[in-house]
Structure 1
């Protein structure tokens, strides 16, 4: 059985004041903390800067035992763990960039139950050395937290298939722990529209979760969508936008590594101090770009979606999307990097004119994405006949190229279930109501071509229909 948490709410507040120095919780922080201390499941959607991390860190520190925080990026984990260490709190992180000595030390501390918080990626969580230690009956685990839970939707089907198996972690652990053990499961994100919320709840197997949602509206952030007629026109529009904001800080988002590198080289040749940033860079290269941007050495970065999570620069004044993201949650996440200090900020998205005659890049990108997803789903369905009805994930991954991705796609289509995080079984009568990435992608197109208030559309898409009913922000392109 899990060890109990503090006896009174006054003790919880006193610990919060002592560790973080704030007078009291901001709504709904207190309610989320109560929920996690009571070992209840939760889905938390709060804008960046709303104090999400405190909501799971405080319950973890107040209880005897371990809380696992599954996080997508090393930089994100490092930031949070460093902040906790600065306060002399018991937290560690495990990732592939650590030396074997560091890994051994952390695994030893885990075994000896010296940790309150352990940050790790989905892949590390499901690695053999970590799982062996987590499986030990005497190791007390209080909670499993999925931070930046929208990554499960963006990346879970094809890019990082380990995300689709996280829902099988808690049932597998509970079988190995003493009877009566409870493990809270909570997903935290700044952006999840209604479809994304459904995917997160289904995939994680949340039990009657309490849903905490804060309205994503930002009165200081003005979203604008502009049509460009040619590839050259797109670049010229970008250039003009940057020229008008010479003394300010911003971000230029593109959708591929190659676009990031090519555009950065072009802008550097035009005399701009900038850098390319994408997931293909080494850890050192990524840290250097982050540091240069945060320190003001470069006013803007040309980046893919790999940039920005957990990196806080309050005076970022603008975000421009040279190419629109494929998912609405990704878009809101990225524009949300601007204006965190509450001062006015711009979010411009450039799109091809609807026919695509003169500039077909957007249509091609959308078509390529849709065809790729459809072909992967089709391939996965054909693949079923080659798979044993029940089997091991690692064996399939070794035997077939993209085997792990195929299993995650079958899971997202409702044709496969996890026996535990490492074994699957094919479902004879698949669920037909599973939400897939293709459904979530159509929403982004509707948003870009909508004539209604941008914020009204976003509020409605994110499940705030009541607030959206008569909404007019007055500062987006459609309102103006």
Structure 2
């Protein structure tokens, strides 16, 4: 158990004591100051920028518990494991835990033996956990929402529970002693101005300090190559890997089956590689991570389940075997390369522009759009059957898609949450062109002329830099001298 004297130390002392770093990176100190002084904050910081320290250090300086709400089990487990290895009392709660581990964590929570609790939004709002968090004597100092862009997403990765998080703080305060203050901080690696507004509104941030960092990483060299056949896609992948001279890397694919197939093929070609995806057992994932971290595997063939929370500074290359659906996903994944500041190469393999010879990217995007539209139509149809107010837990037993229908209403300002469970519908009138997410913006990136970093800077709200940007290192700048 951490002593009270720790709370009187300054952030730099905490940083050096537990992480061994002599000083904070750019922006980290200002963010930590805001959180230590109990301000609400929105932090947009690129992958590899060290955002976790920005809320972990204040958690040690505050009395009570910091709750970190995160969407991915692998990310939570990795973060908690790293904290525990430093002697910091942290734990996680999620549905995949063994019952004995869950009981142990709940006991530590009740006994106030934790400084950080990592939890998924769905587990946070499960009744057994919520009731414990609402206990009058359980001191909660801060709420942190990680991967906060989930508030504005739609489609197969949409997490409607995120939209109920805005009512969590006020509901908890109703059960705490008068004068209790809980600050709220939202963190994301990518977010344009629209996403930032959605986060602030959805989480009900109170006069937040907003910290945004340019996504530009000068050591990342971006390149795109078009493919005309599935065989050519594999050939280009193999050639790119060979050009990296045995250095460490990551290959991203879109499906679990593809990760298994490609890994099996590349193993026969003599590469030290493994497939990684969320369908593997926890221990199998941990074994692969450790083998990669220790350079027993040169690279992994993985879905987006890999990389979050895995800290390896010398990743020299990233290859996207398939084009991601969204720029934000692409930016996060290439950001896992070159964290040591040295040059790292990235390659995105994309179907040829016409889609006549290789239509795989276009089919994938069309499938995504069709699924999103189907999801929206089902939810909108359900709206007329829902009561004007009620408890989402009870109503969901009768109507399984209730959370999606309510999410559409909330995104359009037609619904309010009195607490994370009880809602009231003000209107069921829906503008269908705004219900959900539009076509992915990756095709625009592939077609854009000029510097690739210029496009990314403009897409993520750094227009002042993008206007005359010339990285001089991407494939476009190298080939054409920009345009």
Alpha-carbon contact 1:5-1:62 (below 8 Å) kept: no
In the TM superposition, residue 210 of structure 1 has moved relative to its aligned partner by 0.8
How many Å separate the matches in 1 of 2:475 and 2:400? 46
How many Å separate the matches in 1 of 2:95 and 2:459? 37
Unpaired stretches in structure 1, ≥5 consecutive residues = none
Deviations 1:282-339 (A, max 9, x none): 2122222222222222212111111110112222111111111111111100011111
How many Å separate the matches in 1 of 2:299 and 2:374? 37
Alignment of 1:21-32 (within 5 A): 21-32=20-31
What's the C-alpha RMSD, in Å, of the aligned pairs? 2.6
Distance verdict in 2 for CA 1:463–1:417, change over 3 Å = same
Deviating more after overlay: 296-305 vs 21-30:
21-30
How many Å separate the matches in 1 of 2:105 and 2:197? 35
Distance verdict in 2 for CA 1:431–1:331, change over 3 Å = same
Alpha-carbon contact 1:416-1:430 (below 8 Å) kept: no
Distance verdict in 2 for CA 1:78–1:372, change over 3 Å = closer
Instruction: Please state whether the residue corresponding to 2:423 is helix, strand or coil.
Output: strand
Deviations 1:70-113 (A, max 9, x none): 12333322333233333332322222333323322322222222
Alpha-carbon contact 2:7-2:61 (below 8 Å) kept: no
- The reply to whether residue 124 of structure 1 matches residue 133 of structure 2 is no
The equivalent of 1:188 in structure 2 is 187
Deviating more after overlay: 92-101 vs 178-187:
92-101
The equivalent of 1:460 in structure 2 is 458
- The reply to whether residue 287 of structure 1 matches residue 286 of structure 2 is yes
Alpha-carbon contact 1:248-1:316 (below 8 Å) kept: yes
Distance verdict in 2 for CA 1:414–1:358, change over 3 Å = farther
Give the total of aligned pairs.
475
The equivalent of 2:225 in structure 1 is 226
The equivalent of 2:197 in structure 1 is 198
Deviations 1:165-221 (A, max 9, x none): 222211211222233322111112222233332332232222221111121111111
Distance verdict in 2 for CA 1:87–1:297, change over 3 Å = closer
The equivalent of 2:473 in structure 1 is 475
Deviations 1:216-236 (A, max 9, x none): 111111111122122222222
Deviations 1:396-440 (A, max 9, x none): 33323444344334433444433321223223166869976524x
The equivalent of 2:359 in structure 1 is 360
The equivalent of 2:178 in structure 1 is 179
Distance verdict in 2 for CA 1:446–1:216, change over 3 Å = same
Alpha-carbon contact 2:141-2:183 (below 8 Å) kept: yes
Instruction: Please state whether the residue corresponding to 1:438 is helix, strand or coil.
Output: coil
Alpha-carbon contact 2:7-2:60 (below 8 Å) kept: no
- The reply to whether residue 39 of structure 1 matches residue 38 of structure 2 is yes
Alpha-carbon contact 2:48-2:336 (below 8 Å) kept: no
The equivalent of 1:164 in structure 2 is 163
Alpha-carbon contact 2:156-2:371 (below 8 Å) kept: no
